[in-house]
Amino acid sequence: MTRPEDRAAATRRVWLETIERFRFDRDAPGSERYWSPRLDTASRDEIRAIQEAKLAALLPFLYENSPFYRRRFDRLGLLPSDIAGLDDLIAKWPVVDKIEMSEDARAHPPYGTYTAMTEEVWAERGWMMFSSSGSTGTPRVFRYSQIDRELWAWANARALHAMEFRKGDTVFMITGYGPHVWAWGVQQALAKMGLPAIPGGGMDAKGRATIVLRFRPTILLCTPSYALHLGRVLQEMGADPAALGVRMLFIAGEPGIGVAATRARIGELWGARLVEFYGCTEAAPSAGGFSCPASHAAGKPAATHLLEDTQIWEVVDPASGGALPDGARGLTVCTNLNSEASPQLRFLVGDYAVLDRSPCLCGRSHVRAMGSFSGRADDLINLRGIKMFPVQIEEAVRSVHGTGDEFEIALSTNEEGMDMMLVRVEHADFAAGESLSRRIAGEIRARCEVRVDVEVLRPGTLPKTEFKARRVRDIRVK
């Protein structure tokens, strides 16, 4: 009789061999336009065949190597062999959400059992531990292996190549690394591509502005809100950001390209093109989503590609969790096909998106999120029964000429027990507070169908963003 540890090792070996079988153009781009021409322009039938081949190896691997997934199979009355392909996966496997993972982490400290990382693998070829960001309750940590590191570098290099990172570029990494997958994944990809980077952690904005002025990097990596902040600091130092040779702003961590008014404001400030990554700690190592040269053509909504040979992407209904067809707006779900440690099955990433699998003008055949990603379900604001996202408030604020880069959404409960919203906005003409307040409130009402109060402030009143912007302050009585 085969021992459980032998079955686990055998399924791990088959899984890793399957990943490698479909990793074309591992160490260098196959063409100037595509890192992997065979994968990036594969037909829809070829993409599906790759996904199903990987899924067939993934299911027994997770069953034998992740107690979390084994218990879930047993609870659903399923064996890996009961899921014969993508259609079965969607029909038979309910989405896995963050709450379920957090409960597992509480019950099985310190790492939980929702990954396929074992103590033996960690000791033999462990690489790095990351922690999910923006969540509440028990932290969900993810330990990745050296194999994951290499898979990460390859997938991200494909995405950066698509965004037109090329020899001659220098990337200024304006981020505090910490346990955040984005910066580390980009660092590994740049090393694989042979592109130089300038580390920008541990500096204040003036220090980083000095780096830009002195060394003239061609690409900046930062959050959208920090791109605005750094540009204003350079202006205060007497420099014009658009004249400094930055040709690309590589953003992530917050909605950016999908917020047209913010995209335009940043692009005009720097005179540069905006590109972005999309992904999550749980379904790393991979860029997941990325911009292409046709990602926001003039007059068209932004679009973000999703790598389908390394991940299966779908959207589900927010209420029922049921799968939705392409063209319908739903919450993103990812099945990761590119990891030794964390190959999740139908993980609910939770951003609103509309998917389109028609060919892109860039020639890539992989699915796109049209309009990019319009808001995370976790960020949804419910004010007196009206639901909205912070990005809708942002669009309204940015639509009024002269508003500052920083704003704040304050939620509170008044003496009558009614929930209220106050939007605090900076404006150079702050003395005209009442008329500006009415105008901004009108823009918000037009987009969100709700009446809110607006306070116009002197420029420099609100704290400046140093990493991810925290726009919402909720002190409502629960």
Whether 150 and 293 share a structural domain: yes
Does residue 254 belong to any structural domain of this protein? no
User: Which pLDDT tens digit goes with each residue over 262-305?
Assistant: 788 899 999 999 998 888 888 876 777 899 888 766 556 788 99
Q: How confident is the model at residue 392 (pLDDT cuts 50, 70, 90)?
A: confident
pLDDT of the residue at 202: 82
Whether 362 and 390 share a structural domain: no
Whether 316 and 465 share a structural domain: no
pLDDT of the residue at 476: 76
Q: Which run of H or E residues covers position 390?
A: helix 390-398
CB neighbour class for 14 (10 Å; exposed up to 12, middle 13-18, buried from 19): middle
Instruction: Give the CATH number of the domain where residue 289 resides.
Output: 3.40.50.12780
pLDDT of the residue at 374: 64
- In 194-223, alpha helices (H): 205-215
Does residue 236 belong to any structural domain of this protein? no
Whether 341 and 390 share a structural domain: no
Q: Which of 69, 56, 65 is nearest to 22 (CA)?
A: 56
Whether 353 and 401 share a structural domain: no
Does residue 116 belong to any structural domain of this protein? yes
* Number of domains making up the chain: 2
CA dihedral 98, 100, 103, 107 (to 10 degrees): -130
Whether 405 and 366 share a structural domain: no
DSSP 315-336: EE-TTT--B--TTSEEEEEEEE
Instruction: Give the CATH number of the domain where residue 402 resides.
Output: 3.30.300.30
**Interior/surface letters 57-86, b for 16+ CB within 10 angstroms, e for the rest:** bbbbbbbbbbebbeebbeeeebebeebeee
Does residue 208 belong to any structural domain of this protein? no
User: Which pLDDT tens digit goes with each residue over 80-108?
Assistant: 999 999 999 999 999 998 889 989 999 99
Whether 392 and 363 share a structural domain: no
Helix (H, G, I), strand (E, B) or coil at 461: coil
The better pLDDT of the pair 420, 148 is held by 148
Q: Provide the whole-model pTM.
A: 0.82
Whether 398 and 369 share a structural domain: no
**Interior/surface letters 268-294, b for 16+ CB within 10 angstroms, e for the rest:** ebbebbbbbbbbbbbbbbbbbbbbbbe
The better pLDDT of the pair 364, 183 is held by 364
User: Which pLDDT tens digit goes with each residue over 133-157?
Assistant: 544 456 789 999 999 999 999 999 9
Whether 400 and 426 share a structural domain: yes
Question: In terms of residue numbers, what domain contains 438?
Answer: 381-474
Which of 375, 390, 417 finishes a domain?
A: 375
Q: Which residues contact 367 (CB under 8 A, 6 or more apart)?
A: 305, 306, 308, 313, 326, 355, 356, 357
Residue 327: is its pLDDT beyond 70?
yes
User: Which pLDDT tens digit goes with each residue over 234-253?
Assistant: 999 999 999 999 999 998 87
User: Which pLDDT tens digit goes with each residue over 8-26?
Assistant: 999 999 999 999 999 999 9
User: Which pLDDT tens digit goes with each residue over 103-138?
Assistant: 999 999 999 999 999 999 999 999 999 887 544 456
The better pLDDT of the pair 180, 198 is held by 198
Whether 428 and 454 share a structural domain: yes
pLDDT of the residue at 131: 83
Q: Which of 251, 254, 250, 173 is nearest to 208 (CA)?
A: 173
Average pLDDT over residues 52-75: 98
